[in-house]
Structure 1
Amino acid sequence: MNKNESIFCTIFFLDKYYNFPVLSALASFSWADMHVVQAATVDKPRVVTEKDQTISDDFGSASHPVSITDGRTMAVLEIAPSAAADDKGVTTVNSNTINGKFTQPADRGFAEAIGVLVQDNYPGTVQLADGLQVNVDATGNRYNSAGIYLDGADVHKDPTGEHDESEAANAEWEKNGRHISSKTVNVGTGTTITVNAKAPAEKAGDYVNAQVLKNHFSHMTVGDSVHLSLHTGPFNLILQEVSRLFRR
């Protein structure tokens, strides 16, 4: 084919098609050079540690959620501090489903059950896909549970001795010159988040702290048409909130 000759491509749109010329100089490519990344459905939790990653896998399904029974793994998908170099770093989650089933073992006095956890020292932005479905189904005697949880402060430090997350967050805020974290989580349009926090069978649990969205001293944006659902079983002490957003 000469340099100035044209080839024709056919594009189909439902029951119609259109022919149009494309210059051969612009249409030279090989199918062998094209790399298509196929999303997979995985059955294990993941901690993202590499910088500026795009996560496309689905985590579990409605019939086969990711099963977490060790009492130590806190989340189905966890974003570590190393996943962004600074506040310009972006971790993109293009998953359709993040579905976890947590069972607290009897030998663990306390546990966490979270869908997406962004650790307190992560400095960047986490972009969650539109239409994402997050489901957390947890059973235990004494635990915290959340659909999406981000911390802009290390709430595990206990300067007051009162074992209170808000007190710890306040202390971190003061220490950081009264500035909140640069961390941002963007919850996409059409997201559905469900948290079902249950007690052990046939008895009341001791304690559960359950939220669908939880933000301690960070930035969170939430798109339109987001559906949040929270259910708890019988516990002696229940802290139950659809959203818990702490910000100065």
Structure 2
Amino acid sequence: MKLFHVLCFFVIAGFTIFGSVQAVTVESTQVSDETLAILSNEQPDVTMSMEPGVYLISFQAFEPQRMSYNQATKDAGVGSSELIIDSPYNGSLAFGIYKPNECTINITSTGTWAAQVTRYDMTNPVMTPVNLSGTGTTVSEPFTLEKGEYFFQRGQTQAESPMYFLSYSNGSYVMDDTNSYVLPGFSRISTETFKILNIPEPGTYYLNAICMEENPMTWNVSISSVPPAPVMGPGPAIRETA
């Protein structure tokens, strides 16, 4: 099996959500106007000082290739990824910087490519319910979630599905209640089409879609709030009989 190593961490029910929500379809990653660095197969390394925030590596693969990404900060934060690319496409990866730091990025590949480092722009998050879609390893547009439960439904399962990783606006992962795995938490062999997510706090979030088998791979997901349980009435009166 072709493996993809995610950036240095861990790696709905009575109705169909895709047909029931009115949502914004999001397909491209939101980036800031300022390009902080440019890399290519001829210039694959960069070291720069970075302020706290979330940063994007937006890349263009011009032919089939195997691409390896490595990122490290001065105080030991490390990330490593490998992409299997079957045809030309554009993708993106994200990483968080939690305090002022010096960061080194290196990309190596068997083909020709280009990449840009930018700040991730979270100034205009979309409201849920939301549909998200893409065609490969991609960082979604930002979106807002309130505290509570949400349906996370996906259109693909098992090897046809990317791995999904939900993140806070500072770049850290949203963990499950036991702090054991990153939400939504589908396994590579899972046939589940949905999960119910418990969101711990209101705020801006984004989704990393990581295609482990090949790139590009078409995917789509829907996120919508779980409706509150109906309030039960007292029930019918029971008459006593003599």
Higher helix share: 1
- Band the TM-score falls in, shorter-chain normalisation: under 0.3
Give the TM-score taking structure 2 as reference length. Answer: 0.26
Give the TM-score taking structure 1 as reference length. Answer: 0.26
Larger radius of gyration: 1
Q: Which has the higher contact order (CA 8 A, sep 6+)?
A: 2
